[in-house]
Amino acid sequence: MAFVHEIKFFRDRKSGNLKVALYDKPPFFANEFWIKNIDASDLGLSRKPKGLKLEQKYSVDSLGIKPFPASKPEFDFIDKASEAAFFVATQVIKTQI
């Protein structure tokens, strides 16, 4: 699970639709930690908020938004695989007790 700390508005090159890139705080070894791109409409936006520039990152705190959870599809898969492995492991342990 990641938390969105920064966002960037941009136009999709193919469709021209307004999109939002979601970012978490980067780990010490990277400059950024991209989570995913979503349609601006998923955030209830039909156009870019006034005063904000396309292709520029903004801290969600500076926009009056608290950081919120978001997940990469890869994280969802890893979480599900971990849950399944934990369940199997606990079943095996129970049969050996």
The DSSP output letter for 46 is S
For the chain, helix, strand, coil in percent to 5 are 30, 30, 40
The Cα–Cα gap between 51 and 75 comes to: 33
Q: What is the pLDDT of residues 24-83, one digit of tens each?
A: 998 889 888 888 999 999 888 888 989 999 999 999 999 888 998 887 665 554 455 555
The Cα–Cα gap between 40 and 54 comes to: 12
Q: Is the pTM for the entire model greater than 0.75?
A: no
